[in-house]
C-alpha cells in the first residue's frame, strides 16, 4: 500500500517542514502511522492542563492557540503544524488548542517527530527557527530584484568622474565640461573632493555676475558638497536630492569621488518625478499653483511604489514633499503679512515629524514663539499666518486635523517657556487619559523658522522624560491600547472589541502600535531620533530589548507598511480615496502568513513594554 | 435471506448463517458477530469500505479494487488501511477506466478477487461496516461471495449517503430548486472537508470515514443506538 495513500503524503509535502523531506522514503512509513481526526468548531484539541503526545497537521479548518491565561497567541489554518513545543517538553503543554472551525487533523505520533527532529536538520530547523527568522528570510527574498530602490548607487554610474584641480580657472573648467559634455565638474584637492561646479553655477555665479574668466574655480564652486556613498541604495540618492533640492550628487568611495549621479541619470527610472516635484513646489508664486501640484501627488506616490521603494524611503519622500508644501505656504504667507515680528519656529508633529508620512495624512502642526512673545502685539500676526498655512494645506490635500492639533489652534501657539511648562506638566504629573491625546507632540520637528527653538524644546523633553518612570509607564500603557489583529484570519476579522468586520485597519492596529511602543523606548533612552526605524537602531544599540528584537520590529514595520502602501496604491489606481483598511481576502498567501508573523512580533513587544515600564494599572 | 429480504434481527441471522455455512471464512466472519450492535456508536468498532467496479450493474460487472480502513469516532487509523487490486474476468470498459483510472496494464498482474476475499472478510469481521452508497457495495459483495463461496454474504451497513439524505431531507413544500447532491464529494463539502481526488478505493474509504465522523459530530449521533443508523 505504498501508492494508495499518496494523496495524504502529497498534501503533507506541500507544506514545510515536510516539503524539505519529500524525497525521504521514510516519510511513507510515517504516513501509515497517521490518524485522522475530525473536530467540531469549539471542541478542544489540547485542553487546558492536558498532555499531548501528537504532532498535529491541519488538513482543513482552523485552530486557535491560547496561552494559559487565555490570551490569543495564534490562529492556525490549513497546512499549519502544532503540538511540537509540548512534544519537546515531554508532553507537557503550556498552551491550549481549540477548533475555531470544523477541522480535519492529521495526528502524527510523537515518536516520528522525535526521530525526524534528531535525523533531519531541515525538520528541526523549521521548529527552531523563530517566526522572526522566517519573516526576515521572506523579506530578503522579496527584495532580491534589482530596481532603483534596491540597487546600489555605483551600479548607476556610467563613467569615471570628470574632475579638475581646485587651482584651475573658470575658463579651463568650462572647457573641460564642454569637451567632456558634462553638466557638472568635480573639483579636487590631492584627489579628495572639495567642491562641485555645475552649468547653473557658471550661469548664475559667473556670467550673470560678470566675473572674469581667470578667477580660480574654488572661488565660485559649491564647497564641501553633499555626497553619497557608492554602496548606498540609489533610492537614498533620490531622497537626498529631494531633501536638499540639488540635481547633482557626487558619489564617494573610500574618500575619493568615483562619479556623479544627476537627475538625468534617474530620468529613465520611474521615480524622477518625485525629485522634481520639490523644486516645482518652491517655484510656485501662489496657492493655486501649489493646489495644482498637489493633484499630482497620487501619481508620484504610485511611481514610488512601482519603483519598489521600501516604506522608509516612501515615508521619507512623502514627508519631504509635505514639508516643502508647508515651507512654501509659510513663505507665501510671510510675503503677504510681512516678516515675522519675533523669531518663531513652525513644528511638524506626528508622522511628518517622524518622516513617515504617506499619501493622505491629516496635518498635525504647532508653533513655538520666542519668549518675547506678547499676545497683544504679535497675536494677530501669528493667528493670520497659521490660518493661512493650515487652511491652504487643507486645500493641498492635507486635511485639517480632526483633533485640532494645529498651529491654527491658539492652544498650540505657545512661547518656548510655555511649551516647556506644558511638557513639564505632561511628564511630571502624567495622566494616561490626557497623555493619549498628546502623544503626537512627543514626535516634534522644527521645519521652518528658528529651528533652535525646536531643538531647545526637544532637548528639554528628552532630559525630563527619561527620568520620570511614572510618565514612561503611563505612555507604555497607552501604547498597548491598540492591539494588533492577531485573530485576522481569512474572511473575518475581529476589529476592536469582539465586533466582526470584513476589513482591518493597518495603521491603527499595526503601524501606530509600533510607533507608539518604539517612542516609549526612545524617550526612555533619551534618543534624539524621531524616525521609528532610526529610533529602533538606537534602541538596538543601547540593548534595551533582548537581542535581535529591535531588528524584528523593523522587519514587522516594513512588512505591515508595505502591505498598507501597496493597498493604497491599488486604491489610488482604482480612483478611490486611499485609506488604511485592508480586506484580508485581497491579500496573497505570502502577505497573510507574514502579516500574521509581523502582528505576533508587535504583540510580543507590547507584552515586553508592560514588563519594562511597569506601573500601577 | 437475500438481497431483497434483509433480516430483522442481525444477531440471530448471523448465528444461523454461522451454523449453516460450508465456508471456513464465512464461518469465522459470522461467528465474530456484530460487536457493538447494542452499544452506543461511540463505543462501536467501525470500518470504512469502498469498492471500484467495471460498471454499475452487479449482475454483469465485477469488482476491480477494494479499500478499507478501521476507525472510531475519534480517529481513523491509517495503519489499519488495506487495499487490493483484482483482475476481473471480463475486460475493462473504456467508461470504467475513465472513472477509477485503473487501467488494463495495472490489473494485468493483479490476483483474482477469490484469492483475497477471505482477507477482506477477516478485516471487517466483528466491525460495523460504513460505506457511501450501500446500493452498490452490498450487491457487488453479495455476488462476489456467491461466485466464490456459493453462499450469500450479507451484513449490516451504515450508509453515509442514506444518512446524508436523511439529514438534508426536506418535505416537498419546503424544497426549492435542485435537491442537494449526495455524491461523496458533495456531501464532504457540506462539512468543509478537503477535496480529494475521487475514485481510488482506499482514499474513498478514508473519505467516507471522515464524512461519517463529521456527520456524527454535527448531528450529535455519538450516543445514538446503532440500529437506528442501519440501512436494510
> Taking CB atoms and an 8 Å cut-off, how many pairs form between chains A and B?
68
Nearest CA in chain B to A62: B192
Query: Which CATH number covers residue A215?
Result: 3.10.580.10
Residues of A within 8 A of B46 (CB-CB) are: none
CA nearest B126: which of B10, B223, B30, B39? B30
pLDDT single digits (tens) A258-284: 888 887 666 444 444 566 677 788 889
CA nearest B64: which of B44, B93, B40, B38? B93
- On the question of pLDDT at B171 being above 50, the answer is yes
Q: What is the mean pLDDT of residues A196-202?
A: 90
Let me know if residue B147 belongs to a domain. yes
User: How many structural domains is chain A composed of?
Assistant: 4
Q: Yes or no: say if B49 and B168 are a contact pair by the CB < 8 Å rule.
A: no
Cβ count within 10 A of residue A541 = 11
Which B positions 95-124 lie with beta carbon below 8 A of chain A?
none
Residue contact B81–A32, C-beta within 8 A: yes
Let me know if residue B3 belongs to a domain. no
Query: Residue B131: which domain range?
Result: 10-169+178-231
Average pLDDT, chain A: 84
Residue by residue, DSSP assigns A457-486 as HHHHHHHHHHT-HHHHHHHHHHHTSS---T
Query: Residue A501: which domain range?
Result: 474-612
Q: What is the mean pLDDT of residues A536-557?
A: 87
Residues of A within 8 A of B194 (CB-CB) are: 11, 59-60, 78, 104
Place of cell 573639483: A187
User: How many structural domains is chain B composed of?
Assistant: 1
Same domain, A295 and A384: yes
Same domain, A77 and A98: yes
| Chain A residues contacting B via beta carbons under 8 Å | 1, 4-5, 7-8, 11, 31-40, 59-61, 78, 101-102, 104, 107
Same domain, A600 and A478: yes
- On the question of pLDDT at A495 being above 50, the answer is no
Same domain, A394 and A492: no
Nearest CA in chain B to A78: B194
Same domain, A280 and A413: yes
**Residue B208 pLDDT level (bands cut at 50, 70, 90):** very high
Q: What is the mean pLDDT of residues A392-416?
A: 93
pLDDT at B94: 63
pLDDT single digits (tens) A160-179: 889 999 999 999 999 999 98
- On the question of pLDDT at B204 being above 80, the answer is yes
Let me know if residue B197 belongs to a domain. yes
Same domain, A512 and A586: yes
DSSP state of A85: H
pTM: 0.52
Same domain, A242 and A342: no
Which one has a higher pLDDT value, A260 or B8? A260
Let me know if residue A433 belongs to a domain. no
Q: Please tell me which of the candidates B74, B82, B191 has its beta carbon nearest to residue A1.
A: B82
Let me know if residue A600 belongs to a domain. yes
DSSP state of B3: T
Let me know if residue A335 belongs to a domain. yes
Q: Please tell me which of the candidates B83, B193, B203 has its beta carbon nearest to residue A60.
A: B193
Query: Which CATH number covers residue B40?
Result: 3.30.420.10
Cβ count within 10 A of residue B86 = 24
- On the question of pLDDT at A338 being above 50, the answer is yes
Q: What is the mean pLDDT of residues A584-601?
A: 80
- On the question of pLDDT at A308 being above 80, the answer is no
Which one has a higher pLDDT value, A274 or A564? A564
Place of cell 558634462: A182
pLDDT at A141: 46
Same domain, A282 and A251: no
Which one has a higher pLDDT value, A298 or A339? A339
Percentage with pLDDT > 70 across chain A: 89
pLDDT at B177: 60
Let me know if residue B28 belongs to a domain. yes
Amino acid at each position: 500500500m505504498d501508492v494508495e495513500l499518496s494523496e495524504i503524503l502529497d498534501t503533507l509535502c506541500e507544506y514545510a517542514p515536510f516539503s524539505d523531506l519529500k524525497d525521504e522514503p521514510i516519510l511513507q512509513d510515517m504516513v501509515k502511522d497517521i490518524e485522522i481526526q475530525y473536530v467540531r468548531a469549539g471542541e478542544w484539541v489540547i485542553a487546558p492542563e492536558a498532555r499531548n503526545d501528537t504532532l498535529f497537521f491541519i488538513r482543513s479548518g482552523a485552530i486557535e492557540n491560547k496561552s494559559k491565561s487565555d490570551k490569543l497567541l495564534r490562529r492556525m489554518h490549513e497546512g499549519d503544524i502544532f503540538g511540537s513545543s509540548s512534544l519537546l517538553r515531554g508532553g507537557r503543554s503550556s498552551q491550549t488548542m481549540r477548533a475555531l472551525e470544523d477541522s480535519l487533523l492529521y495526528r502524527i505520533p510523537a515518536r516520528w517527530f522525535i526521530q525526524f527532529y534528531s535525523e533531519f536538520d531541515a525538520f528541526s530547523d523549521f521548529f527552531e527557527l523563530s517566526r522572526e527568522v522566517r519573516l526576515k528570510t521572506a523579506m530578503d527574498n522579496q527584495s532580491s530584484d534589482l530596481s532603483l530602490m534596491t540597487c546600489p548607487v555605483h551600479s548607476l554610474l556610467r563613467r569615471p568622474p570628470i574632475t579638475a584641480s581646485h587651482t584651475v580657472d573658470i575658463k579651463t573648467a568650462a572647457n573641460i565640461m564642454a569637451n567632456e559634455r558634462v553638466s557638472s565638474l568635480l573639483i579636487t584637492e590631492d584627489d579628495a573632493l572639495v567642491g562641485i561646479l555645475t552649468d547653473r553655477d557658471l550661469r548664475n555665479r559667473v556670467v550673470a555676475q560678470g566675473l572674469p574668466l581667470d578667477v580660480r574655480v574654488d572661488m565660485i564652486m559649491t564647497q564641501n558638497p553633499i555626497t553619497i556613498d557608492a554602496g548606498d541604495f540609489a533610492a537614498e540618492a533620490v531622497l537626498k536630492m529631494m531633501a536638499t533640492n540639488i540635481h547633482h550628487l557626487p558619489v564617494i568611495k573610500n574618500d575619493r569621488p568615483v562619479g556623479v549621479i544627476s537627475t538625468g541619470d534617474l530620468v529613465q527610472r520611474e521615480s524622477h518625478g518625485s525629485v522634481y516635484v520639490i523644486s516645482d513646489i518652491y517655484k510656485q508664486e501662489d496657492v493655486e499653483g501649489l493646489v495644482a501640484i498637489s493633484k499630482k501627488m497620487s501619481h508620484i506616490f504610485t511611481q514610488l511604489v512601482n519603483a519598489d521603494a521600501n516604506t522608509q524611503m516612501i515615508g521619507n519622500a512623502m514627508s519631504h514633499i509635505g514639508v516643502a508644501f508647508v515651507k512654501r505656504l509659510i513663505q507665501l504667507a510671510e510675503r503677504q503679512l510681512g516678516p515675522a515680528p519675533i523669531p518663531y519656529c513652525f513644528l511638524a508633529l506626528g508622522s511628518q515629524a517622524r518622516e513617515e508620512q504617506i499619501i493622505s495624512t491629516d496635518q498635525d502642526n504647532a508653533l513655538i514663539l520666542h519668549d518675547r512673545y506678547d499676545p497683544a502685539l504679535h497675536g494677530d500676526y501669528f493667528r493670520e499666518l497659521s490660518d493661512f498655512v493650515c487652511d491652504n494645506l487643507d486645500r493641498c490635500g492635507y486635511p485639517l486635523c480632526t483633533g485640532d492639533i494645529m498651529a491654527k489652534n491658539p492652544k498650540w501657539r505657545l512661547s518656548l517657556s510655555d511649551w516647556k511648562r506644558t511638557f513639564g506638566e505632561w511628564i511630571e504629573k502624567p495622566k494616561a487619559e490626557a497623555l493619549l491625546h498628546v502623544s503626537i507632540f512627543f514626535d516634534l520637528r522644527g521645519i521652518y523658522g528658528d529651528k533652535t527653538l525646536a531643538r531647545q524644546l526637544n532637548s528639554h523633553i528628552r532630559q525630563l522624560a527619561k527620568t520620570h518612570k511614572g510618565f514612561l509607564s503611563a505612555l507604555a500603557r497607552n501604547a498597548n491600547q491598540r492591539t494588533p489583529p492577531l485573530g485576522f484570519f481569512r474572511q473575518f476579522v475581529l476589529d476592536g472589541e469582539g465586533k466582526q468586520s470584513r476589513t482591518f485597519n493597518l495603521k491603527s492596529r499595526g503601524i501606530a502600535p509600533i510607533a507608539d511602543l518604539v517612542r516609549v523606548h526612545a524617550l526612555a533612552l533619551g534618543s534624539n531620533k524621531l524616525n521609528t526605524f532610526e529610533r529602533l537602531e538606537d534602541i538596538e544599540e543601547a540593548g534595551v530589548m533582548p537581542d535581535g528584537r529591535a531588528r524584528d520590529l523593523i522587519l514587522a514595520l516594513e512588512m505591515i507598511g508595505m502591505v498598507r502602501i501597496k493597498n493604497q496604491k491599488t486604491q489610488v489606481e482604482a480612483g478611490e480615496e486611499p485609506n488604511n483598511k485592508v480586506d484580508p481576502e485581497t491579500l496573497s498567501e505570502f502577505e497573510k502568513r507574514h502579516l500574521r508573523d509581523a502582528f505576533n512580533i508587535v504583540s510580543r513587544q507590547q507584552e515586553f513594554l508592560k514588563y519594562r515600564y511597569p506601573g500601577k494599572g | 435471506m437475500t438481497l431483497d429480504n434483509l433480516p430483522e434481527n442481525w444477531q440471530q441471522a448471523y448465528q444461523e448463517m454461522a451454523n449453516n455455512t460450508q465456508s471456513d471464512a464465512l464461518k469465522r466472519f459470522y461467528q465474530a458477530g456484530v460487536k457493538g450492535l447494542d452499544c452506543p456508536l461511540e463505543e462501536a468498532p467501525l470500518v470504512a469500505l469502498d469498492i471500484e467496479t467495471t460498471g454499475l450493474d452487479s449482475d454483469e460487472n465485477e469488482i476491480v479494487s477494494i479499500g478499507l480502513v478501521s476507525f472510531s469516532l475519534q480517529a481513523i487509523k491509517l495503519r489499519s488501511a488495506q487495499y487490493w487490486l483484482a483482475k476481473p474476468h471480463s475486460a475493462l470498459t473504456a467508461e470504467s477506466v475513465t472513472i477509477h483510472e485503473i487501467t488494463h496494464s495495472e490489473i494485468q498482474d493483479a490476483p483474482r478477487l477469490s484469492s483475497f476475499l477471505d482477507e477482506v472478510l477477516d478485516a471487517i469481521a466483528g466491525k460495523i461496516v460504513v460505506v457511501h452508497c450501500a446500493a452498490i457495495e452490498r450487491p457487488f459483495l453479495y455476488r462476489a461471495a456467491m461466485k466464490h463461496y456459493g453462499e450469500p454474504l450479507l451484513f449490516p451497513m451504515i450508509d453515509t449517503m442514506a444518512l446524508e439524505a436523511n439529514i438534508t431531507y426536506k418535505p416537498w413544500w419546503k424544497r426549492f430548486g435542485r435537491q442537494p447532491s449526495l455524491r461523496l464529494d458533495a456531501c464532504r463539502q457540506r462539512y468543509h472537508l478537503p477535496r480529494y481526488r475521487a475514485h481510488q478505493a482506499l482514499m474513498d474509504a478514508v473519505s467516507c470515514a471522515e464524512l461519517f465522523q463529521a456527520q456524527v459530530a454535527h448531528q450529535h449521533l455519538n450516543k445514538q443506538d446503532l440500529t437506528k443508523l442501519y440501512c436494510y
